[in-house]
Chain A
Amino acid sequence: MTQSANRLRTFAIDFFTHFGADVYPDELDVLVALPPSLADTFGKPRLYLTFADEEAGADRELSPQQDLLSYGSRIFDRMMALLAGRGQQAQFSLPARRPLSLLPLLNPAAPPAAQNTIESQFETNDVPFFVFHFRASYVWTEKEEALLTVVVDAAGQLRPEKAEFLRNGSLPVADDAPGPLDSDALHRMFHCAQTEARRQVEARADALETDIRARLQTIAGRLTGFYRQLVAELEDDAGAADVRRELERDLQRKMADELERHQLRITLLPVSYAVARLPMAYYRWQLTAQSGQSAQLFLQRDLFSGQIEHFRCETCGRELDAIVAAADAPPDGLCRAACPLRQKSVGWAFWRLVGLPVKSADAPVSAGIRAARYQWRQMIMPGRTLFVGARPGLPVVRRFWPRVLIIEYPHKRIVWRQQWGRWRQISPKS
């Protein structure tokens, strides 16, 4: 069965189950015994749903008892009619599916680096996110539709990373009693989301119009050239002027028709919205260096999807591209390079997050190091650079996608590579 047929089948099972029908799925088809209310709508007490299978091709013959369900079929239209006006708003909580601690993320095979200490503490909270779905239709000589999902957090910030899983129509929502919604807040969030949806729509429309414009230019050139040649081929006689005027009118009419046909018409309709409460966990890391210096680091993680929030600049709120470990203040340019506002230097005190030594639990460690068998996998996105200080003696750590790690000391450079789940130093040869 094709993927689209599978999705239809899942939808059909969910739909009829929700409406109180008895659903008996077999290998390919689904038998549905309808309750009396639905039997009237569908015209019979039972439906034997079968799904379009492109592999069967033209040889497939349906019996009158079978009901073909696919987009555009009458059964699908009736199902959509039953959903009309429903499901436009919801409130739900999503369960925590990840363990609370970050420690299981860490890999015992960690690359070596300066000895550091990492400690974590955490707390959890249910955080509301406002999910808005819009249907965008682009109509010109063709038609394209897309479902856009925009997620906004309580602070009014866009959260595109949440949209990926919150647009799923099969979320394992917990049964929640809906609470009151602050309509003003909702109104603000909607406008924020609509602005973002409009931006996405306009971006897509720009791309479409580039193609449409090129096509229209070709058509206009063809028509103009054609009518010009027709006029040029007219012989000089009494009726030529009338014919010329008629040809010009014809050209204008045809051009107007083509412009009208190629005009892009966009409709952005809100489909539904929801307030989804996600279980978030907050972590505080205490980092202690060999020298005894320590720093604090705050992380948050979505316990439903497992996404870890990247560090954000306190000033501008954007995700940071570089983390500077400095005793007092970051060197010039490092945080500023990430923060476009350049208004104040941020007094971070971070420490490096990678380059922890591969050591067994009972191996002796340098003073100041707790037992550590870590490697960050999810916290550090490949391609990002984590600076560890511009202070002399502190190394700079860069990780490349996904298995190469370079640690640059002032006097040397060490390159590590992950192979078969273990990190091995490849330069200089160990």
Chain B
Amino acid sequence: MQLFLWGGLLYTMLMDNERLEWLPLSPPKAEETLPAGEPEATCPRCGWPLSGAAAGCSHCGRLPAGPLIPADAPAVELPARTTETPAPPETRSDSRPAVPDGPQWYNLRLQAEQLGASGGFSRLICLDDIFIDQYAYQLETALHVLRDMGGRALLADEVGLGKTIEAGIILKELIERGLIDNALIIVPAPLTRQWQAEMQHKFNETFTVLESLSQLPPPPVAGQPAVLPRGARWIVSLSRARSAQWATRLPAFEYDMLIIDEAHKLKNHRTRAYQFVNRLRKRYVLMLTATPVHNHLLELYNLVTILRPGHLGTRRAFKRTFVAARRTARRPSRRTVYSSQYVPGYLRQSKEKRTQAQKDGWPGLNVLQRFDDYQAFCDHYSGNRKPPAPAARREIESLLTAGYKLVEFESIECPVWPRRRKVDFVCRLKLNAGASTAPLAPRPRQLTPKNTFALRTLLREVMVRNRRSSVGVRLPAREAAVYHLNLSPPERRLYNGVTAYIRQTLALLRQDDAQRQRAGAMRLRLATLQRQLCSTPQAAARGLAALLQREPNPHLADYLTLARSIAEGRKVDAVRVILSQYPGKMLIFTDYLASMRTLDAALTAAGHKTVLFHGGLSSLERFEAVRAFRRSARVMISTRSGGEGHNLQFCRQLINFDLPWNPMRIEQRIGRIHRLGQKETVRIFNLSLTNTIEATILDVLARKIRMFELVIGEVDLILGDLGDERGFEAHIYDMWAGSQSEAEFLQNLTALETLLEQAQQTYTQIRATSDELSDLLGVWR
């Protein structure tokens, strides 16, 4: 009795440690106001800013009072149009007259032809063949891109506004009009399947994810053009596409439509990825990114140049015209020797003087005085009033202070052409950066544009950026809580025992070469079992039973018996508590049918009206389920397929009964209720069993990534910056499977957390950059 009481008291004490913790969330940003622009003098032809001193436009060459086209610009001859006019067989004089149809057929045919004639992009014709919530700003964006941008645009909407939907609408519209036959979508690797599913479910287009070169048509015979199979729809990851083998095969084809997701990965024109995409031949191209600029306006330049080469001029002209001048030293690299050449006025040298200076070893400059010693250089210029020298000396001194060692030094004094009243100097030096332990200064960001009005005019021709403030989209606040739960003693015994078995099995799989062939599938089963343990004993029992069928094991059989003996898991009780404390409808997500049934039985017994939603329902049954949830049921228990394509904004509370390891799946769940059309504050409850892997992952997501604060789509951007294409879930999985123990797993997780923190900070900075840049440029539609 005493023992029982003692045991009962201990149980109560354990339960007392449980708590519902509301996560601190940052307050919503104040609404931004968009600045008005001040018109500057711009070229009426190309929109480039006109400088008063120049005789004409430095971009297109248009003369102020002259013809629109410069005299030497080549006139373009349109290729001769082709007209096909086949004759119907009945009207050939050699054919026998056919018996005509009745006039009713004729009338019907005529009506159908009249209805089917499309008169340009005055309206979208694909809308009824796609399964999306239609928002006016998305439809207007699609029409704007088709009508005014010729199907080539940079879609830079803020996160969560549906760039994928906009791209899908444009794609579908062009397909339905017969303007495109094939399409290639290039995305980050973790998003290939997601894009495939979205294209299938929302746009009824079947895409193939390219994973092997054998999926491509064979290379053509020499001299013959490569031909895509009719109706080819491909999705390929960027990392695969830019690899050596693929980068030679894919550009051989001409694509009707090219869509690039996360296009900011092409911000650097020197990368293989950029050069690969730039080489692709495409008729229509859409580039999607919520953050087109990270550090430098040239990143935006690079993206626009893929769409319309020359639209923003050359790189040099763009910098000169649109980037506010800023003298910055090149950031030294830790691994390479730093070499600097400081040459103001160099470009003003005449050709003769350049030739002379070349003979002296200084290309393009006329040497007046030479210094081989840094000290002599400093002594010569000390007290000198010539402007360049103090700045250069300061630059060199700062590098020396930072720990760089001067290896070589050479400097010359040269005149500024055409008069020698002023002199400039060139400083050539080599510094050894290897000894420096000072942290590298962050690369200076060059984001301040000038001639903003002209830049805005040019960008508006190729870029669309919808912002929540401009499209009138307001998402309500979101509250997130973690319900920390303790497993009951039998559940704890079950969890610990099975987890130990899983770890042992994984260790064996790692060691035994003979097992390696079936290791992949086995690891997956074990991972699933580990997740089932964190759900309900009934789900764990099902997993154990399946495993026992393949791997008979007496210990596992004992655990199976234990699992079946537990009537109800701790989480089920927690759900009852939440339902009693928080009135209103509740959407509960679980990954396992067994858990779903257990929950359903428990909640029904508690008097709640429930409705189930899972992949086994027909479309009509799903519709009825959603309708029942809207009208009468209090709780909807759903598996992964829950709510896809259905509006659930009438519900504002959600319980993550099981936590997926992939945060984007969590985001998709939240997105069922926290979306456009939701009017009330959304509550998200996460059940966390202490001292389990689920609690660890939830902690990472909630505290490190702070995913519950983010808007839909931002998680993807943060995790995409990890620098690893495998994805977060794969990271966690490998880390867990490769750890010998829980302690080792936690240790490995610390390194990931550091990466995640950096990714989070980087993303925050990038988002702020994009926001302030779009405010400044006012590039919205």
Which A residues are within 8 Å of any B CB, using their own CB?
4, 7-8, 10-11, 14-15, 18, 52, 57-58, 61, 63-65, 68-74, 76, 79-80, 83, 86-92, 133, 135, 139, 141-147, 167-171, 173, 175-176, 178, 180-184, 186-187, 190, 194, 198, 201-202, 205, 209, 212-213, 216-218, 220-227, 229-230, 233, 253-254, 257, 259-274
Cβ–Cβ contact B60 & A260, under 8 A? no
Contact at B83–A266, with CB atoms within 8 Å? yes
B87 at the interface (CB under 8 A from A): yes
Instruction: Verify B107–A259 contact, CB threshold 8 A.
Output: no
B-chain residues with CB within 8 Å of residue A83 when the two chains form the complex:
105, 108-109, 112
Collect the chain A residues with CB atoms within 8 Å of residue B99's CB.
Answer: 178
Beta-carbon contact of B113 and A147 below 8 Å: yes
Taken together as a complex, chains A and B put the C-alpha atoms of A141 and B92 apart, in Å, by 34
Is B310 part of the contact surface with A, judged by Cβ < 8 Å?
yes
The one of A90, A194, A260 that contacts B101, using a Cβ cutoff of 8 Å: A90
A166: nearest chain-B partner, CB-CB: B110
Q: Which residue of A lies closest to B84 (CB)?
A: A267
Instruction: Check A139–B179 contact: CB distance below 8 A.
Output: yes
B309 touches A89 (CB 8 A): no
Within the complex, what minimum Cβ distance (angstroms) separates A61 from chain B? 7
Q: Which chain A residue has the least Cβ–Cβ distance from B59?
A: A225
Say whether A88 contacts B76, CB under 8 Å.
no
Q: Which chain A residue shows the least CB distance to B177?
A: A143
Could you pull out 25 A-B pairs where Cβ atoms are within 8 angstroms?
A7-B111, A14-B108, A70-B127, A86-B101, A86-B108, A88-B101, A89-B90, A133-B110, A141-B283, A143-B177, A171-B103, A171-B107, A173-B103, A180-B97, A183-B93, A213-B76, A216-B78, A223-B310, A225-B73, A226-B310, A259-B76, A259-B79, A262-B78, A266-B83, A273-B88
A124 to chain B, nearest CB (A): 21
A57-B140 Cα distance, complex, nearest whole Å: 13
A7→B115 contact, CB < 8 A: yes
Q: In chain A, what residue has the closest Cβ to B111?
A: A169
Residue ranges of B at the interface with A (Cβ–Cβ < 8 Å): 45-46, 59-61, 69-70, 73-76, 78-88, 90-93, 95-121, 125-129, 133-136, 146, 150-151, 176-179, 281, 283, 308-311, 313-314, 316-317, 619-620, 623, 647
| A209, B81: Cβ atoms closer than 8 Å | yes
A88 touches B109 (CB 8 A): yes
Given B104, B109, B110, B316, which contacts A233 in the complex, CB threshold below 8 Å?
B316
Q: Which A-chain residue is minimally distant from B62 (CB atoms)? A: A221
Report how far A125 CA is from B112 CA in the complex, Å: 32
A271 and B116 alpha carbons, distance in the complex (Å)? 12
In-complex Cβ contact of B76 among A58, A91, A169, A220 (8 A)? A220
Pair A52/B101 contact, Cβ less than 8 Å? no
B60, B78, B126: the one contacting A263 at CB < 8 Å is B78
- Other A-B pairs, 6, CB within 8 Å; known A14-B111, A225-B310, A226-B309: A10-B111, A83-B105, A135-B113, A220-B76, A222-B60, A266-B81
A65 to B621, CA, bound (A): 12
Alpha-carbon distance between A227 and B305 when the two chains are bound, in angstroms: 12
Sorted nearest first, the 9 A-B pairs with minimum C-beta distance are: A226-B310, A87-B109, A90-B106, A169-B111, A169-B110, A87-B105, A173-B103, A89-B100, A190-B91
Tell me, in angstroms, the Cα distance from A229 to B80 when the chains sit together: 30
- State whether A72 touches B125 (Cβ < 8 A): yes
Instruction: Decide if A146 touches B311 in the complex (CB within 8 Å).
Output: no
A residues near B619, Cβ cutoff 8 Å: 64
Minimal Cβ-Cβ distance residue in A for B179: A143
**Complex contacts, B119 vs chain A, CB 8 Å:** 144-146
The reply to whether B104 and A18 form a contact with Cβ atoms under 8 Å apart is yes
Distance of A233 from chain B, by nearest CB (Å): 6
Choose from A64, A91, A259 the contact partner of B620 (Cβ within 8 Å). Answer: A64
Contact A146 to B117, CB < 8 A, known contacts A72-B126, A139-B179: yes
Output the least CB separation between A188 and chain B (Å). Answer: 8
Q: How far is the CB of A213 from chain B (nearest CB, A)?
A: 5
Beta-carbon nearest neighbor of B254 in chain A: A257
In the complex, A224 Cα to B112 Cα: how many Å? 46
Q: How far is the CA of A14 from the CA of B106 in the complex (A)?
A: 12
Q: A170-B107, A233-B316, A270-B87 are in contact. Are A187 and B78 (CB under 8 A)?
A: no
| A229 to B, closest residue via Cβ | B314
Residue of A170, A173, A227, A257 near B111 (CB, 8 A) is A170
Question: Do residues B117 and A263 form an inter-chain contact, with CB atoms below 8 A?
Answer: no
Residues of A within 8 A of B112 (CB): 11, 15, 79-80, 83
In the complex, the answer to whether A92 meets B73 with C-beta atoms within 8 Å is no
A269-B86 in contact (CB<8A): yes
Separation of A260 and B281 alpha carbons in the complex (Å): 12
- Report the Cα distance A267→B117, complex, angstroms: 13
**Once the chains are docked, how many angstroms separate the CA of A259 from the CA of B117?**
26
Q: How far is the CA of A96 from the CA of B119 in the complex (A)?
A: 34
* Given A143-B118, A216-B76, A217-B76, also A187-B309 (CB < 8 A): no
Are B128 and A52 in contact, CB atoms less than 8 angstroms apart? yes
Closest residue of chain B to A232, judged by CB?
B314
Q: When chains A and B are docked, how far (Å) is the Cα of A223 from the Cα of B308?
A: 9
Contact A187 B107 (CB under 8 A): no
Bound CA–CA A392/B128 (angstroms): 72
Least distance between A106 CB and chain B CB atoms (Å): 35
Known: A18-B104, A90-B105. A144 touches B87 (CB 8 A): no
